[in-house]
A and B are shown apart, each in its own frame.
Chain A
Amino acid sequence: MAGRRRRIKSTKERLLSVLDDLEVLSRELIEMLALSRSQKLPQPGEDTQILELLVQRDKEFQELMEVAQQQGKVHQEMQLLEKEVEKRDSDIQQLQKQLKEAEHILATAVYQAKEKLKSIEKARKGSISSEEIIKYAHRISASNAVCAPLNWVPGDPRRPYPTDLEMRSGMLGHMANLPSNGMNGHLPGDALAAGRLPDVLTPHYPWQPSDVSVGMLPPHHGNDFGLEPPGHNKENEDDVEAMSTDSSSSSSDSD
């Protein structure tokens, strides 16, 4: 192709080519001289031409060998530079690794900080006064649902949850309007109604007003205070007792 550029031969290729030429020329010269001696015929000067070519090729060979030696020195310098490039590459990779690690740590820290700021903002928006929180805490703790009363002993009928009697004393129980004689004996309200419950073990219900306390309640008048809502009668008490004995609730039997 006309447009194709001639490839530049490497020094090795040129050296080998010149060496081949030298071999061929020296062989031809020696053969020619041997032939001329044996045949004793004068040669037209072809041997001179070959000799000139041989000298020329030999000179070229020597120059190329010098160039090859110079290239060898340059090659050594290039090898040193390549080692330096490798070392720099390894330094750059190490730096890249450290930068990535630092980026990861910083990104995590920034993310956590942002989440904390969001939480702070959220808490600020829904802030509640400490007095209200303490008030709620008192109300929750007042029913002794969090911790038993200090004077609680085994056998105390008080429980941290509404007992049967308390449930039946509530609106649901009154809706059924069940009769009860109140003399079953094993419920705290019954014992109170019978006048057998001591003051210490008088049940205190959270929904009772604060002035209805131990000292103020008459312990032997179970029918007088708010335990029995209006409309409660002996008929309902019988039903309550019947239901209590039949119930499988574990409230009063877990002493």
Chain B
Amino acid sequence: MAVSQPRVEKDSEDCSLLPLVHDVIKCMDKDKDGQDVHQELMKLKTKIQKAREQISNMPGIDSSPQEQQQQLATLREQVRTKNQLLQKYKSLCMFDVPKAS
């Protein structure tokens, strides 16, 4: 959808480390003593660390996309089968009532 696309692009741009690397290099050109460079380096380091933590906490990425799709298909099949079973037994009439003679 058009509304969600810019948000997705913004998220992916947030993940990129290139802007921070570029900032470090620019600071190296401008600042000779290295205090600003040091500050930019700390920012880069912090962002990498946060990215690591974010990755560790993200749910559902313990398997590859293909494996996850297989698991999803299995779960859907399970739900379908169990629904069928329940429907079958609830509607099953086990007793043939004999006609009164």
Contacts and interface: CB of A to CB of B under 8 A. Distances in A.
B68 to A, nearest CB: 6
A66 B12 contact: yes
Contacts of B13: 62
Contacts of A92: 82, 85-86
Contact of B64 (A9, A69, A76, A85): A9
B61 A68 contact: yes
A61 B16 contact: yes
B61 A71 contact: yes
Nearest to A71: B60
Contacts, number: 118
A56 B51 CA distance: 18
A77 interface: yes
A78 B79 contact: no
Give the bracket for the number of chain A residues in contact with chain B: 35 or more
Interface in A223-252: none
Contact of B52 (A10, A19, A84): A19
A12 B61 contact: yes
Interface string A9-22: 11110011001001
A12 B58 contact: yes
Interface size class of B (residues with CB under 8 A): 35 or more
Q: Is the interface of B mostly helix, strand, loop or mixed?
A: helix
A81 to B, nearest CB: 4
Given A19-B55, A65-B12, A85-B79, A70 B65 contact: yes
Contacts of A81: 72, 75-76, 78-79
Q: Which of A16, A76, A78, A95 gathers the greatest number of chain B CB atoms within 10 Å?
A: A78
Contacts of A66: 8, 12
A184 to B, nearest CB: 76
Contacts of B16: 58, 61-62
Interface in B44-81: 44, 48, 51-52, 55-56, 58-69, 71-72, 75-76, 78-79
A90 to B, nearest CB: 11
9 contacts: A26-B24, A30-B25, A61-B15, A66-B8, A67-B65, A71-B61, A72-B58, A77-B72, A88-B79
Interface of A: 8-12, 15-16, 19, 22-23, 26, 29-30, 33-34, 37, 54-55, 58, 61-62, 65-72, 74-78, 81-82, 84-85, 88-89, 91-92, 95, 99
Interface of B: 8, 11-13, 15-18, 21, 24-25, 28, 41, 44, 48, 51-52, 55-56, 58-69, 71-72, 75-76, 78-79, 82-83, 85-86, 89-90
